[in-house]
Structure formats: structure tokens, C-alpha cells
Structure 1
Amino acid sequence: MSTFGDYFRVTTYGESHCRSVGCIVDGCPPGMALSEGDIQPQMTRRRPGQSALTTPRDEKDRVEIQSGTECGFTLGTPIALIVHNEDQRPKDYGGSTMDLYPRPSHADFTYLEKYGVKASSGGGRSSARETIGRVAAGAIAEKYLKLAHNIEIVAFVSSVGKEELFPPSPEYPSYSTNSNFLRLIGTITREKVDEFAPVRCPDTEASKRMTKAIEAFRDKKDSIGGTVMCVIRNVPAGLGEPCFDKLEAKLGHAMMSIPATKGFEIGSGFGGCEVPGSVHNDPFIVTPEVGGISDKKRLTAKTNNSGGIQGGISNGADIYFRIAFKPPATIGQAQTTTKYDFEEGVLEAKGRHDPCVVPRAVPIVEAMSALVIMDALLAQKSREASRSLLPPLPKSLPIRPETTN
């Protein structure tokens, strides 16, 4: 379906070459200052035409708030957001050989099989253009998360093709065992990531290698995939809904709903399978006193192979995960394939497409992360508010000691 979330609900609409795209956000808390200026920065980071490494489609992606605010504050009612498609070119697709073929590895065939009809231009709802609504809604969620808990979400490109920021090795089979990686996710900011635009890999040498890789495939009218890493900092402990809506399951659901995704791993991920439990386990330690005040103490994990989530519930440590994106399906090279009428032929696709999607996927990953954490936070706050109306629990039960944050 086109709706995501239970408490903070987002419904996106629009196709790649229709008149507009956008979303409706339902469940945003009332009384939060909100304007287009809070949303536009992420829209601008996501928009096409930013460099020679992306599609040349020239869209400004200016967002407009249609409802749900008054005098610059949210009302608690549905927020409608719209972005007009200014550079749509359906004629790039009509009247060409692309009408005759389902593009290899694209959604043309499956959408037609499912619905019996499909958008005649671009990818329709399967196009990355649909993610505009996600990014707009995610920016709203991010503002609340920042104000409420100082939650920070930063994503960056960790690989393009075979070029990796932190190549796995016998010494570091997993990102979670690499001290350089752990230092990076503890301090990285969006501003720093964007200093390495257009690739958005926060390392000079790795960024150069990735740029050359994308350029090489682009010049051959081909495409290449890659991975995006994301870290979420300052998430309070206790978020996540066992058993089927574990926090990592919701994050995986969100990430795998992004177009072109093919893999998701959290914490130690697949590399964690190569180390024994005695190394993989995250022992608990007591945080040091803050300013000599003992009630600031709390339990925390000494290491973070868990990626900030245990038993499907956040433990207060940084949450980090990686998403794999396949090479874009539409390429300019001639491909031998089969037409809708079962006749074999050669397709040379037209239109404007990214040779690699990972640089522009960075704000989309951040947006979907914000939607997941926002929904989980509202669920937990609802539980805590309901519990606070009941008489205190008897002291004979194993009750978590209250601490002052």
C-alpha cells in the first residue's frame, strides 16, 4: 500500500511524470513550529540534476504546505505537502521502442501483471520520484525527534561497486569491530557528508575512487550499485514492539521499501557470523557520573555489535545499519530481451536516469529512519502515559529504577 506507519502515518501519491507528487502526514503532534524552510533542505539534497553523476532531469522540488498548520505551527490535523513536477517529459517514453518492451529488471512487467495497466512514462509509482513524499514527511518527523530527544540521523555512502569506505578484512570482519568506523558514526554530521558531494562518502580518497567508478559506468551507458550506511544517535531505550514489530524489523521494512534496495543489515550484520559469542556479546557497564550527580548513572553497553537494538528494543546506544542498492535498471546500452508480444528484440532505453542511485539515496534513507523512530517513539509514549494513570507497582516486582536523564 502507499501508507506507512501506525501513529505517525504517511501516505504518498504521484507518478514519475504526473503533474505533482507529495504526501499526507497524519498524527503529527500539535504545537510544533513548522514551515517549508524546515522541509526544503532535505528536498534539495534529494533532488535530481545536482551533478554529472546523477540524472540531468531539472527539478527544483520546491515543497508547499497545503494544510495542517496555522501561523507557522502544527494543528495536529493532517498535513498535506505538494511538489509540482516542472520538468516531466512523458514524450521521452511514448512512441518509442520502450513502449514495446518491459525493461529488464525494472517494474514495468510486474506492475502490468499486477494491475493489468501501468503508467505509460517513466516508472510510475516504482520511480524514485515517489520518494519525494517520504523525504518531506521525514523532515517533519526529524524536527520533532530533534526537539524532543535531540535525536540525530546521518547517512552516507559506504561503497560504490567494489570501492568500499571500510573494506572487510580478517581483522575487521564486521563494521562493528572496526574502531575507525565506530569513531566515524559517533561524530559524523550531514554537513560533513555534504562536503564530499556529489558522492557523499566522507573520505577524500574513497570518494575519489567512487567518483571514478560511477563515471566509468556512466560513460559506458551502464550503471552500478552501492551501499548506504546510516546512524541514529540519542535514541532513548525502550523503543520497539515485540514480537513482530521489532525495531530492526521496522527499519528493515522501511529500508527495503525504498526503490532499488536489495539488502539490509544492522549492527555486526553478516560479518558478525564470523566471530564467536564471547567476542560478539555486548557487556554492560555503568556510565560514569555526570557532574558528580549519581542519579545520572545508567547501564550502557561496552561494545555495540547489537547496533543499538536488543530483543527488538532500542538499548540507548547508537543504532546503525547498512542498505544495499542495486544498479539502476534503465541503461543506455542495447539489451537483447523480449517484447510484450513475445517477440525477441533489442531495447535501447531512452530518458534520463542515474548511473548510480546511492548518492541521492542518502536523504531518503534518513527520512525513512526518521519515520520509523517517530512512529516507535509515539507508540512508547502512549504506553508510558497509559501506565502513569495506574497505581504504582508493588515493590516485590523487578521494577526498573527510575533515573533522571
Structure 2
Amino acid sequence: MAGSTLGTIWKVTTWGESHGKGVGVVVDGCPAGLPLSESDIQAYLNRRKPGQSKFTTKRQESDEAEILSGVFEGKTTGAPISMVVWNTDQQSKDYGNIEDVYRPGHADFTFDSKYGFRDYRGGGRSSGRETTARVAAGAIAAVFLKKLGITVTAYAKSVGPYTVDPERFNIEERDNNRLYMPDQETALKAEAYLEEMMAKTDSVGGVVECIIDGVPAGIGDPVFEKYDAALAKAIMSMGAVKGFEIGDGFAASRSTGSENNDRFLPGKDGKVEKATNHAGGILGGISDGSQVVFRAAFKPTPSIALPQKTVTRQGEETEIEIKGRHDPIIVPRAVVVVEAMAALTTADLLLINMSSKMDRIVSFYEKEK
């Protein structure tokens, strides 16, 4: 199966299935000498793991990461970093009724069409469980970025019809509510709405917004390897994402050039700054030194208990009621996954950028003499 590796220099390969023995990841290309411990990884995994509130699946997984290689005496060695998270609470029997039935909104039909079989126990490689490995890898990238003064912060921008009010935006509030919304009032309304949908055995979608602070100007390439294109690929590779936009995004299509253009002005220490940031921190595929701001739209969880019309593997009409333990909304647990994918993308592009100028290469190797 191709397509399980992301990155050029900072390469990440995930493995494992939802109801297999575990999921894991190999991170190759991380520089030697980076201080790293399992607690650094765990801090991120704790934000993603299931069973934390009534708005997440009741599957009980400790999601404890075990570093198998690439770290010695608290620092990375430059060798591939291999990590595993063991599955401990699979209930495969919950999926027995869908062995030969395609679930609406899932990858069952398309996976079967491509490979001629599918792992019906929770979706196998198509399951959201795979993102556990992404988060473990992203945690390492976040530690790397922090050393360079770069931070990645995501949050729930909207849940169903409820959107964070910019006037009440408070990033410190994000971790005080179960939906990771930086607006207490909107979070309470969204929770009430979500409970109403749960009572109807239905699910809800939403939008995650992410801000990358501290990225210097000049990251990314102008054609196929644009920074925003790389972010879009990484974020769209998450199974439930159906939309991506950066800066003003689709709203830019309704503005004029005079409104959308970000005016340049002299900044501190002779640096160029912008009066506004409609571009979302990227111009021509290259970072401009301001905040990188993007959003990802998540569809409602496809696993719902409501009866749904579908077909069997043999093409016969049938009706299905999905059993098992599922998130009524993906957004809260996806917040840290978005951070992870943004961190991995940014780390890779920073390493690639080190060879973009001859004077940088000469300076580096002259110091080595």
C-alpha cells in the first residue's frame, strides 16, 4: 500500500490499523541533538485520546507512546525515531454487522474497490485511529520548531452553526471547555446544540483554525512545493477534512484587489511588515514573515446510529444502524491533529530551505572547518 509517507527531508511514515495490535510511526530526518522524551509526545497524545468527555468516543485507550529507537540519553541521535502506541480497548464484535455492508460516508466502498478487500473492524487504515501516529510525530516537530521560536496553535473555530466571536476570542479559554473553542459563550451554545444532535443520534461538523507564529519570511517554493500547497496536502490527508482555506480564503473571492492586498510598511530593525494579513502569511507560496493562518472544514462524523439506506458488497439494497463507540463530532480531537500536521509540514520546509542560498551553504561549511 503506497501513500503512508509524508515529507522530503523530515519524513514521516505511519503504520497500523484501528483494531490491530497498535499504531505507530517512523520519523526520519530529525536532526541529532534535539532534547526529547516520551513525556513530550504524551502531552500531545493526551489531547487526542478518546474517552475524555461525552463528546468523544467511549473507547478507553491510554494512548501511551513508546519510543523504540532514535533517542539516547534524552536526545535524538539522528537515526530514525520509531514509536508505537498499543491498542488496548478494541471491540471488533461491534462491527460484525457491517462485514458485507458499505457504511454511508465511510471509505468502505472505495477501499474495497481499490484493494479488493477491506478491514471492516473500524475501518483499518482508513480509521481516525491512524491520526494517533501523526500526533506522536507532530509532537517531535513541535519540539523542534519551539527551538526556533515557532509555535503552532489550533482551536475549534466553529461547531455546527456556532462560530467563535472575534470580540470574545481568548486563546486561554480553549483548554477550559470540551470543544476547544476560545470563546466561552459560544462554546456553551455549541455544547447545547451538540447534546441536542446526540439525543437524535446524529452528528455534527465544524471548522478548526490554526495559527503558526514565528515563521521567518522565505519558507516554501514558488511552484509545486508552495508552503500553502504543502499545508493543504497535509491537512486534506486527514480523513474527515472536506475543505481548506488560508488567510481570507473563499472570502477573498468577494473582495476587491484594493481590499485584499496587504500593504507593506517598514518594520522594526529594517524588516518589512504588512499592515494587514489577508494572505494568511504566504505570498506566491512563500512565507512573508507574518502569522500563517489557515482553516480546515470537518464533515460530521459518518458513524451515526440513525437507520441509513445502503447496499451490500453484492450490490443488494439494505438498511444499516451503526453500532460501536463513535465521536458525535470529530472537531475537538482533531484540533491537535491539525497542529501536528502543520508542525510536520513546517519543519520539513525549514530543513529544505537551508539549501536555498549559496551563501548559507558556504557559511555553514566554513564554520565547520
What is the TM-score when the length of structure 1 is the normalising length? 0.87
Q: Which residue is equivalent to 2:12?
A: 10
Structure 1 residues not aligned, in runs of 5+: 167-177, 289-295, 391-405
How far residue 387 of structure 1 moved from its aligned partner, in angstroms, is 4.5
How far residue 212 of structure 1 moved from its aligned partner, in angstroms, is 1.3
* Letter matched to residue 77 of structure 1: A
* Letter matched to residue 321 of structure 2: E
Structure 2 residues not aligned, in runs of 5+: 364-369
- 2:22 equivalent among 20, 23, 43: 20
Give the secondary structure class of the aligned counterpart of 1:389.
helix
Once the two structures are superposed, what CA deviation does each residue of 1:250-303 show, in whole Å capped at 9, x if it has no partner?
Answer: 000011001110000100111111121111111111114xxxxxxx22111111
- 1:87 equivalent among 86, 89, 97: 89
- 1:343 equivalent among 311, 316, 322: 316
- 2:338 equivalent among 365, 381, 385: 365
In our comparison, the structure showing a higher alpha carbon Rg is 1
Q: Does 1:194 align with 2:196?
A: no
Q: Which residue is equivalent to 2:195?
A: 215
Distance of aligned partners of 1:201 and 1:27 in 2 relative to their CA distance in 1, 3 Å threshold: same
Tell me the percent identity: 47
- 1:65 equivalent among 64, 67, 80: 67
How far residue 386 of structure 1 moved from its aligned partner, in angstroms, is 6.7
How far residue 341 of structure 1 moved from its aligned partner, in angstroms, is 1.8
Which has the higher mean CA deviation after the structures are superposed, 303-312 or 215-224?
Answer: 215-224
Q: Which residue is equivalent to 2:327?
A: 354
Distance (Å, rounded) in 2 between the aligned partners of 1:122 and 1:57: 12
Residues 6-405 of structure 1 mapped to structure 2, 5 A cutoff: 6-94=8-96, 96=97, 98-147=98-147, 149-166=148-165, 180=167, 184=169, 189=171, 192-196=173-177, 198-288=178-268, 296-384=269-357, 387-389=360-362
Distance (Å, rounded) in 1 between the aligned partners of 2:66 and 2:173: 28
How far residue 192 of structure 1 moved from its aligned partner, in angstroms, is 3.8
Distance (Å, rounded) in 2 between the aligned partners of 1:249 and 1:347: 38
* Letter matched to residue 206 of structure 1: T
Give the secondary structure class of the aligned counterpart of 1:379.
helix
Distance (Å, rounded) in 2 between the aligned partners of 1:42 and 1:113: 35
What is the TM-score when the length of structure 2 is the normalising length? 0.95
How far residue 60 of structure 1 moved from its aligned partner, in angstroms, is 0.8
**CA RMSD, 1 decimal:** 1.4
How far residue 374 of structure 1 moved from its aligned partner, in angstroms, is 0.2
Once the two structures are superposed, what CA deviation does each residue of 1:4-47 show, in whole Å capped at 9, x if it has no partner?
Answer: 00010000001111001010000000011111011101100000
Give the secondary structure class of the aligned counterpart of 2:32.
coil
How far residue 385 of structure 1 moved from its aligned partner, in angstroms, is 6.6
Give the secondary structure class of the aligned counterpart of 1:61.
coil
Poorly superposed stretches of 4+, deviation over 3 Å: 384-388
Any conservation in 1 of the 2:108–2:120 contact (CA below 8 Å)?
no
